[in-house]
Amino acid sequence: MKEVVILLGSGSIGQAIARRVGAGKHVVLADLKIENANAAAEILENAGFKTSTVAADLSSRESILNMIEHAQKFGEIKNLINAAGVSPSQAPVATILKVDLYGTAVLLEEVGKVIAEGGSGVIISSQSGHRLGALSEDQNMQLATTPTEELLNLPFLKDIVDTLKAYQHAKRGNVLRVMYEATRWGKRGATINSISPGIIITPLAADELKGPRAEGYLKMLKASPAGRAGTPDEVGDLAEFLMSSRGRFISGADFLIDGGTTAAYWYGDLQYLKKTH
């Protein structure tokens, strides 16, 4: 029996993190599309990692529990990496909230019940959560602590009609939920944090930078403090630190890794974006 790493969402960012924390462990690759998980498994197996794959739907508690059961066949679950989700251009409001908000909350809840002592997890959120204006104290509390099966019934979520606003609320909810769950994971001697990336060059992002909205994206990147997009490896390096022995005093925190884009959005050369967001 080995220590187990669960990676839900087998894209470039998730793989970058798994390569840094999965050596000597069993890596479970879970994805809505099993062919994506199998493709990632082949890459990791060829690099010396031990893997297995399972189909998993982040929006379904039953599917999450099935993934956990699969993982436990190989040993104790030591690490969780959640890089799954849908974007504002991929899905309607209801789906975004069910997958990105509710699904992540259920995942944190269920893995938190079985995470090994000394374990750790990272949730990939988004810079979009940092572009949402301040919520009320009550709204923050509700997003953080509302029982998972009641989460989608919050009145202020039912008023959302724009997919970007749905995504921003979901990602803000991820950060708040991580804070709440850190208090529970801590009772098992485990840590949990979130990472909020900006534009990271993945196959999907590379397509966007060549597509009809390329001019806007490139202008935004050029006006950011870093002047460029990020790489999956840069996110992986941050996640590795948080999940290592050096990160044991860090839990319930969110880390914005966007080259300063959010800073420029609120206070710098990207303030023009507020009119469209």
Q: Write the pLDDT tens digit of every residue in 151-202.
A: 999 999 999 999 999 999 999 999 999 999 999 999 999 999 999 999 999 8
- Annotated active-site residue in 98, 102, 167, 265: 167
207 domain residue, yes or no: no
**225-236 confidence digits (pLDDT tens):** 999 999 999 999
For a pLDDT cut of 90, what percent of the chain falls above it? 89
108 domain residue, yes or no: yes
Measuring CA to CA, which residue among 43, 83, 55, 50 is closest to residue 197?
Answer: 83
Q: Is the pLDDT of residue 276 over 70?
A: no
pLDDT at residue 273, as a whole number: 87
pLDDT at residue 88, as a whole number: 87
User: How would residue 277 be classed by pLDDT, with cut points 50, 70 and 90?
Assistant: low
pTM: 0.95
58 domain residue, yes or no: yes
User: How would residue 275 be classed by pLDDT, with cut points 50, 70 and 90?
Assistant: confident
CB 6 within 8 A of CB 112: no
CB burial string 157-192: b at 16+ within 10 A, e below: beebeebbbbbbbbbbbbbbbbbbbbeebeeeebbb
Specify whether 272 is catalytic: no
What is the domain range of residue 100? 4-202+231-261
pLDDT at residue 108, as a whole number: 98
28 domain residue, yes or no: yes
| Residue matched to tokens 């849908």 | 86
**What amino acid occupies position 203?**
P
Measuring CA to CA, which residue among 162, 171, 179, 170 is closest to residue 198?
Answer: 171
Average pLDDT of the residues in 42-61: 98
pLDDT at residue 226, as a whole number: 97
For a pLDDT cut of 70, what percent of the chain falls above it? 99
CATH number at residue 134: 3.40.50.720
268 domain residue, yes or no: no
| Residue matched to tokens 């938190």 | 112
168 domain residue, yes or no: yes
| Number of domains within the chain | 1
**Sign of torsion, CA 170 176 179 181?**
negative
255 domain residue, yes or no: yes
Specify whether 219 is catalytic: no
- Annotated active-site residue in 165, 171, 180, 265: 171
217 domain residue, yes or no: no
**199-222 confidence digits (pLDDT tens):** 999 887 887 788 777 888 898 899
What residues have CB less than 8 Å from 35, skipping those under 6 apart? Answer: none
